[in-house]
Structure 1
Amino acid sequence: MASGKTTKTTTRPVTSSSALASESTNAAVAAADNTQSQRKEAPTGDTLTRRRVSTRSIDNTQDDGYVNEQLTRVLYALDAFKKGDVSVRLTKQNDDIFADIAEAYNSMVEMIGGVGGEVSRISKVAGVEGNLKARASGENASGFWRDMINNINGLMDSIAVPVLEVGKVLKNISKGNLDETFQIPVSGDFKVMAETINKTIDNLNLFAGEVTRVAQEVGTEGKLGGQASVPNVGAFGRS
């Protein structure tokens, strides 16, 4: 019987059988729907083609105890994965089909763990540190997981671009530049924000124009009875 104890690695290995995670939003929904609609059954029987043939199959000399041990380890790893634990790794004990399973499982959780790490990183960098130009990297992701990274970056774009544009417009206002308005096409709450900013700029331009007019009338033409008239401006502008 070929069996053995698992070795310690930097990640948590599986122990023996006894020790038994606007547009971009629409894209994310579409990707999820597309994934569900394309679900496939795993091949069985004659339709199953092994990646590697007889040399990777279970040796006839391996008893049921070894097979049960390996299947229990696989089940333990899958159960941990179901609960969101991607730290478990399957170790290879023999050169057989279970080694293939271990390699496939370990590669899967490495990729998913990397995606989860990128999501956490971008949440911290953008949400906590305020770096709205940061984006998640999907370099090592593929398929659905790469789509998820792309959707996260799309969500970041849909939020960051309007916010950065607001910052640019307000910076221009602080410098006395009232010529540039919010020009990026947006919708929903961002549209309300854009319209409010542009209306504010319009009112500031009207107010500045009236101040200039009254100053000219009083200072140049000597008309002391002139008053500024700015419609739709609140008490502060009229005081």
Structure 2
Amino acid sequence: MRDLRDGNFRRRLVVPGNGPVSALADVFNEIAERNQWLAGELGRVRQAVGQEGRLTERVAPAGTAGGWSLIADSVNGLVEDLMRPTSELSRVLAAVAEGDLTKRMSDQTLRGEFATLGSTVNGLVDQLSSFADEVTRVAREVGTDGRLGGQAKVPGVAGTWRDLTDNVNSMANNLTNQVRNIAQVATAVANGDLTQKITVDVSGEMLELKNTLNTMVDQLSSFADEVTRVAREVGTDGKLGGQAKVPGVAGTWRDLTDNVNYMAENLTTQVRNIAQVTTAVALGDLTQKVTVDARGEILELKSTINTMVDQLSSFADEVTRVAREVGSDGRLGGQAQVPGVAGTWRDLTESVNVMANSLTTQVRNIAQVTTAIARGDLTQKIGIDARGEILEL
């Protein structure tokens, strides 16, 4: 009896015979056996459920009614009651782990600390859902729709969730400032303003982009300054021979610089050759021609100047010939023939021819009269129309 009282359910009573004492011993042994069974079942269920996590394990039916069956049912009910919130919690957490934030602990029978646990888990899921929605919204606005300046608003969060929200907002704010500064500089460049630079504080690849764009602006500014300088020197100041010098440029900017220099060099060569020929013409040298390679309007100018030189040379040759024939050789009646001339050159040619013709007529009339006088014929007079010294003569 004392062993049973002290929890030793292995001891049994052995009473020989069939008397009342023997019957009492059998009842005692049956009570000890059922206690031993119950203790074993409780240990087994504790091991299976509490340590091995097999939540479907239950205390086996006692096979009898009364207190033994009530104890088994109570233990099984306790396991069931413990398993239900655990299963709910497991279901929700598994959904959260898979990114599904639509699940909630929905068992309305939860009380006490289980109800508190349910509210805590559901609140956590709500905050995660709100956080995910806001982060998704900001990411979509900034990354997809291009609407900068968005900020995530997750009310009631604290700790890590507050830190994550602040970090997302800081990232979005930094990205907004960086992109807007880059867009501002790019717009300025597109509008021809090369005075602006990217000044926002950045790191990593954004720093590389910042340095690249700022270098591009510097090169464009240098390129523009040099092209402006060369254009002003050549086109406005008339200082030929200028060349744009843009250090460090490559690719298209190098090609553009080379093209500007090539244009300036060609223009210098063409203008200097034209100036050389026109200067020679002004000095009376009609032997030079524009020989520089040219196209378009410069070619037309080249052809015009060379044609002018040819006509001037032809005009000079004819005037010289007529002057020599009439003034030096005494061969009157000569006429200058300059084909293709027009305008002033035609007028000059005609004036020379009129002068030579008038001089021929006057001299011949005077010679006719003086010849007649030499022969004793005093009946002839000089009848030509004359002026000045010829009139006096």
**How far apart are residue 115 of structure 1 and its match?**
0.8
Match of 1:238 among 244, 252, 258: 258
Output the CA distance in 2 between the equivalents of 1:202 and 1:212.
15
Does residue 116 in structure 1 map to residue 132 in structure 2?
A: yes
Is contact 1:178–1:205 with CA below 8 Å preserved after alignment? yes
Are 2:89 and 1:74 aligned? yes
Is residue 90 from structure 1 mapped to residue 127 from structure 2 by the alignment? no
Structure-1 residue corresponding to 2:235:
219
Identify which of 204, 207, 226 aligns with 2:223. Answer: 207
Alignment correspondent of 1:186: 202
Larger helix fraction of residues: 2
CA drift at 1:114? 0.9
1:148, CA displacement in angstroms?
Answer: 0.8
CA distance in 1, matches of 2:234, 2:85: 94
Other-structure match for 1:141: 157
Report how far residue 189 of structure 1 moved.
2.0
Distance 1:190 1:171 in 2: 18
Q: Distance in 2 between matches of 1:133 and 1:145?
A: 21
Offset at residue 190 of structure 1 (A): 2.1
Tell me if 1:198 matches 2:218.
no
Q: Please report the TM-score for the alignment, with normalisation by the length of structure 1.
A: 0.65
Greater RCO, CA 8 A, separation 6+: 1
Gaps of 5+ in 1: 1-16, 19-59
- Offset of 1:67 from its aligned partner? 4.3
Structure 1 residue 95: Cα displacement: 4.6
The Cα offsets for residues 72-131 of structure 1, whole Å up to 9 and x where unpaired, read as 333333333344332222232255333222222211111111111112222211111112
Aligned partners of 1:125 and 1:131 also within 8 Å: yes
1:170 correspondence with 2:186 = yes
Residue 160 of structure 1, aligned match among 176, 184, 193: 176
Q: Quote the Cα distance in structure 2 between the aligned partners of 1:111 and 1:229.
A: 62
Secondary structure of 1:213's match? helix
Quick check: 2:89–2:105 contact (8 Å CA) kept in 1? yes
Deviates more, 1:195-204 or 1:91-100: 91-100
Report if the CA contact (8 A) 2:244-2:257 is conserved. no
How does 1:2-41 map onto structure 2 within 5 Å? none
The Cα offsets for residues 137-170 of structure 1, whole Å up to 9 and x where unpaired, read as 2323221111111112222234332222111101
Counterpart contact for 1:162–1:184, Cα < 8 Å: yes
Deviations 1:174-227 (A, max 9, x none): 112111112223333222222222222222222222222222222333223333
1:68 CA drift (Å): 3.7
Q: How many residues align?
A: 181
TM-score (norm 2): 0.41
Task: Report the RMSD for the aligned CA atoms in angstroms.
Answer: 2.7
The answer as to whether partners of 1:169 and 1:182 remain within 8 angstroms in 2 is yes
Where 1:154 maps in the other structure, the secondary structure is helix
Structure of greater Rg: 2
Q: What is the distance in 1 between the residues matched to 2:143 and 2:239?
A: 55
| Other structure's SS at 1:77 match | helix
Letter in 2 for 1:156: A
Structure 1 residues 97 and 199, CA gap change in structure 2 (3 angstroms): closer
Q: Distance in 1 between the 2:201 and 2:92 partners?
A: 48
Task: Name the counterpart of 1:151.
Answer: 167
Look up the equivalent residue of 2:258 and give its one-letter code. R
1:41-82 deviation line (CA, Å, top 9, x unaligned): xxxxxxxxxxxxxxxxxxx9xx52444434433333333334
SS at match of 1:224: coil
- State the one-letter code of the partner of 2:102: S
Take 1:198 and 1:118, find their aligned partners in 2: how far apart are those partners? Answer: 35
Q: Is the 8 A contact 2:92 2:105 kept in 1?
A: yes
Unmatched segments (≥5 aa) in structure 2: 1-54, 57-73, 260-393
